[in-house]
């Protein structure tokens, strides 16, 4: 009876998610023989497919998609922010590129504190909130190392979309209208992101971005110099000077993205290659999967009270460790090997009680050193006909970043500085309490939850995972992996299934409305969990490749993404 109820609720949830985005383009998993692209926005998905059909590989397509999303998904796709790319090439090489923003050289540990008080307005809604953007450097670096096509070719579709415009979907129009009041505070943002006559955007309005087209054109012709120096740099610095920001010419000139080795963990015969720190997702996901290794999840039953209880406790412990240990590995020593040992994670679960929720106050972080052996972000996934795979997650942090557009350049700046620990004990915009390891310092990268992940078996890509949604990225990615590998869900069912999330602090078990049955919720409350119904837990755009090499692209029904392929 309970199983029937759960299936019914899953179905109700999917329908509800659809009706919330009533006029959105809802894409469903489609399978392709050769190649597939899944992104949060339909024009960007089409751009990726076009580049692949023009002879580009997955990296060419990824760069083209990233620039297209800067035009068609301005709330998160960007050139004024940063992100991460994980790549698994068909020759077996796996690597990752960190193009996360860095703190400006003038940044200081206490820059968001005045008279002893943390000032969230400064870290979220001011020019001081911006880190030095990394996207342009990252895209150029990825293309130089792995791409087949010239920068001008892969950027051409984005420039065309910006110059000629595209019709807004209902959801895109709403997103812009929701932020209109904040855009009006800045003459540049008002000019680019509100209508001249002051009326709200409607579905079908043609959205043209001429200044952005010119900026993209400069980048396509001049490479890095089209953004980090010359006209674009002048315009960024003018914006900083006008609004009290601290990004300097030297910050821009010296920005560098970095190749890093992914964190790899093996679970159930699958190798998960996950973006390493400054992404926290890799260590958190690997820890959570390791903590669960001794439990028979299938026997507990998908989203049963026992399953939700166990998985919540695992999340609580991993996020407590995240808060304490993680930060930019170029600045802090992360006990990565120790955090990932089986022994440490088993020890973390010693306090787990089947009949009682732990309290986050009592959990805190562990002591891994005793085992010295060892609505905001966007994610897209691409696999090409040769089996090269790319997962990219990129962000401005808040939806439309700090809402400040660079005048004359047409793009928005990030408010990523809020991802640092502004003051220990104070929550950031995602409610995350973080530690000293993630304190602000010049040139340091702020800790992230973005977790692009490539799953391989025998060196062949089987999944490309990742999501948008702040810390919920970590749990959404983790749920998708478990749903497919433990519960045998087909890719779209796995991606549509209701999710839940716990991030240690605040001590709340967030669950998607209708995602847990009433009897399950009752039991969880009896065991001491504080439940909180929430909107979507992440938006994941995933790829699954079956034993015959058929590629399934699965957009998340919580957004209006699409899959394209051939």
* Span near ligand GLY by CB under 6 A; candidates 68-76, 108-116, 243-251, 445-453: 445-453
Does residue 448 belong to the site contacting ligand GLY (CB under 6 A)?
yes
Give how far the C-alpha of residue 462 lies from the chain's centroid of Cα atoms, to the nearest Å: 20
CA–CA distance, 473 with 395 (Å, rounded to integer): 12
Nearest approach, Cβ of 503 to ligand GLY (angstroms)? 11
Nearest approach, Cβ of 235 to ligand GLY (angstroms)? 24
Q: Which two tokens stand for residue 63?
A: 């760069």
CA–CA distance, 33 with 28 (Å, rounded to integer): 17
Q: Which of 287, 449, 496, 562 binds ligand GLY (CB under 6 A)?
A: 449
Does residue 78 belong to the site contacting ligand GLY (CB under 6 A)?
no
**Residue 564: enclosing H or E segment and its boundaries?**
strand 562-565
Q: By the 8 A CB rule, do 531 and 508 touch?
A: yes
Instruction: Classify 517 as helix, strand or coil.
Output: coil
Q: Number of residues in contact with ligand GLY, rule: CB under 6 A?
A: 9
Q: Which of 138, 245, 276, 470 binds ligand GLY (CB under 6 A)?
A: 470
- Nearer CB in complex with ligand GLY: 27/81: 81
CA–CA distance, 158 with 176 (Å, rounded to integer): 20
Nearest approach, Cβ of 449 to ligand GLY (angstroms)? 4
Q: By the 8 A CB rule, do 257 and 99 touch?
A: yes
The catalytically annotated residue of 265, 377, 456, 485 is 377
3 state SS for 50-104? HHHHCCCCHHHHHHHHHHHHHHHCCCCCCCCCEEEEEEECCCCCEEEEECCCECC
- Nearer CB in complex with ligand GLY: 468/489: 468
Interface map 220-239 toward ligand GLY (x if CB under 6 A): --------------------
Nearest approach, Cβ of 277 to ligand GLY (angstroms)? 12
Instruction: Classify 554 as helix, strand or coil.
Output: strand
* Span near ligand GLY by CB under 6 A; candidates 261-269, 350-358, 448-456, 520-528: 448-456
CA–CA distance, 208 with 162 (Å, rounded to integer): 6
- Nearer CB in complex with ligand GLY: 156/450: 450
| Prior bond of 208 cis (ω within 30°) | no
- Nearer CB in complex with ligand GLY: 217/416: 416
- Nearer CB in complex with ligand GLY: 41/418: 418
CA–CA distance, 76 with 65 (Å, rounded to integer): 13
Is 377 an active-site residue?
yes
Give how far the C-alpha of residue 464 lies from the chain's centroid of Cα atoms, to the nearest Å: 13
Nearest approach, Cβ of 488 to ligand GLY (angstroms)? 30
Question: Which residue matches tokens 């000032």?
Answer: 119
* Span near ligand GLY by CB under 6 A; candidates 242-250, 285-293, 446-454, 488-496: 446-454
> Which residues inside 254-313 make contact with ligand GLY, applying CB under 6 A?
none
Does residue 129 belong to the site contacting ligand GLY (CB under 6 A)?
no
* Span near ligand GLY by CB under 6 A; candidates 20-28, 178-186, 291-299, 447-455: 447-455
Interface map 364-403 toward ligand GLY (x if CB under 6 A): -------------x-----------------x-x------
CA angle 545, 46, 65 (to 5 degrees): 85
- Nearer CB in complex with ligand GLY: 169/448: 448
CA angle 214, 215, 218 (to 5 degrees): 85
- Nearer CB in complex with ligand GLY: 449/495: 449
* Span near ligand GLY by CB under 6 A; candidates 180-188, 303-311, 329-337, 443-451: 443-451
Nearest approach, Cβ of 344 to ligand GLY (angstroms)? 24
Q: By the 8 A CB rule, do 376 and 406 touch?
A: no
Q: How many other C-beta atoms lie within 10 A of the C-beta of residue 264? A: 16
- Nearer CB in complex with ligand GLY: 317/445: 445
**Residue 491: enclosing H or E segment and its boundaries?**
helix 491-496
Residue 248 has phi, psi (to 5 degrees) of -115, 170
- Nearer CB in complex with ligand GLY: 503/542: 503
Q: Smallest Cα–Cα separation from 310: which of 352, 267, 364?
A: 352
**What is the four-CA torsion angle of 418, 422, 427, 428, rounded to 10 degrees?**
0
Nearest approach, Cβ of 273 to ligand GLY (angstroms)? 19
Nearest approach, Cβ of 399 to ligand GLY (angstroms)? 11
Residue whose C-beta lies closest to ligand GLY: 448
Q: Which of 419, 556, 560, 564 binds ligand GLY (CB under 6 A)?
A: 419
Residue 395 has phi, psi (to 5 degrees) of -160, 160
Q: Which two tokens stand for residue 450?
A: 């973005």
Radius of gyration of the chain (CA): 22
Nearest approach, Cβ of 182 to ligand GLY (angstroms)? 18
Q: Smallest Cα–Cα separation from 398: which of 375, 379, 417?
A: 375
- Nearer CB in complex with ligand GLY: 73/416: 416
CA–CA distance, 39 with 18 (Å, rounded to integer): 17
Does residue 450 belong to the site contacting ligand GLY (CB under 6 A)?
yes
Nearest approach, Cβ of 153 to ligand GLY (angstroms)? 30
DSSP code of residue 414? P
Cα–Cα distances (Å) from 111 to 80, 244, 515, in that order, read 21, 13, 41
Does residue 323 belong to the site contacting ligand GLY (CB under 6 A)?
no
Contacts with ligand GLY, residue ranges (CB under 6 A): 377, 395, 397, 416, 419, 448-450, 470
Active centre residues (catalytic)? 377
């Amino acid at each position: 009876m309970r199983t029937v109820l759960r299936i019914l609720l899953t179905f109700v949830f999917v329908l509800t998610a659809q009706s919330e985005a009533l006029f959105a383009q809802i894409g469903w998993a489609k399978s392709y023989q050769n190649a597939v692209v899944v992104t949060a926005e339909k024009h960007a998905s089409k751009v990726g497919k076009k580049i692949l059909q023009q002879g580009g590989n997955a990296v060419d397509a990824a760069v083209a998609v990233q620039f297209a999303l800067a035009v068609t998904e301005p709330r998160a796709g960007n050139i004024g922010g940063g992100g991460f790319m994980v790549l698994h090439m068909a020759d077996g090489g796996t690597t990752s590129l960190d193009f996360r923003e860095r703190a400006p050289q003038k940044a200081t540990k206490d820059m968001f504190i005045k008279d002893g008080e943390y000032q969230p307005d400064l870290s979220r809604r001011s020019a001081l909130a911006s880190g030095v953007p990394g996207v342009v450097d990252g895209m150029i670096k990825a293309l130089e190392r792995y791409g087949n096509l010239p920068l001008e070719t892969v950027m051409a579709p984005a420039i065309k979309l910006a110059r000629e415009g595209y019709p807004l979907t209902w959801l895109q129009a709403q997103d812009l209208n929701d932020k209109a009041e904040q855009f009006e505070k800045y003459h540049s943002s008002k000019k680019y992101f509100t209508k001249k006559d002051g009326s709200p955007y409607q579905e079908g309005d043609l959205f043209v971005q001429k200044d952005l087209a010119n900026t993209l054109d400069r980048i396509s012709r001049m490479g890095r110099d089209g953004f980090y120096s010359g006209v674009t740099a002048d315009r960024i610095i003018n914006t900083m000077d006008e609004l009290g920001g601290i990004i300097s010419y030297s910050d821009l000139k010296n920005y560098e993205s970095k190749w890093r080795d992914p964190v790899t963990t093996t679970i159930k015969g699958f190798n998960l290659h996950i973006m390493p720190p400054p992404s926290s997702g890799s260590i958190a996901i690997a820890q959570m999967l390791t903590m669960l290794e001794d439990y028979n999840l299938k026997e507990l039953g998908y989203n049963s009270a026992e399953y939700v209880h166990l998985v919540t406790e695992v999340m609580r412990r991993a996020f407590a460790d995240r808060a304490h240990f993680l930060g930019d590995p170029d600045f802090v020593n992360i006990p990565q090997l120790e955090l990932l040992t089986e022994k440490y994670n088993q020890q973390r679960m010693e306090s787990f009680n089947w009949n009682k929720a732990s309290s986050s106050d009592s959990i805190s972080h562990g002591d891994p050193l005793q085992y010295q052996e060892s609505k905001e972000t966007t994610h897209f996934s691409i696999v090409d006909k040769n089996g090269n795979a790319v997962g990219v997650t990129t962000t401005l942090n808040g939806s439309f970043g700090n809402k400040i557009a660079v005048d004359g350049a047409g793009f928005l700046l990030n408010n990523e500085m809020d991802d640092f620990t502004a003051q220990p004990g104070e929550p950031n915009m995602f409610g995350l309490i973080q530690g000293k390891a993630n304190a602000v310092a010049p040139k340091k990268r702020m800790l992230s939850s973005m977790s692009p992940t490539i799953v391989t078996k025998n060196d062949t890509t089987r999944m490309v995972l990742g999501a948008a949604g702040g810390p919920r990225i970590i749990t959404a990615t983790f749920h998708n992996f478990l749903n497919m590998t433990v519960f045998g869900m087909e890719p779209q069912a796995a991606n549509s299934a209701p999710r839940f999330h716990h991030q240690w602090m605040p001590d709340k078990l967030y669950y998607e409305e209708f995602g847990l049955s009433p009897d399950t919720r009752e039991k969880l409350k009896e065991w001491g969990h504080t439940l909180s119904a929430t909107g979507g837990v992440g938006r994941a755009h995933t790829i699954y490749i079956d034993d015959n090499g058929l590629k399934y692209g699965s957009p998340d029904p919580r957004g209006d993404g699409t899959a394209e392929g051939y």
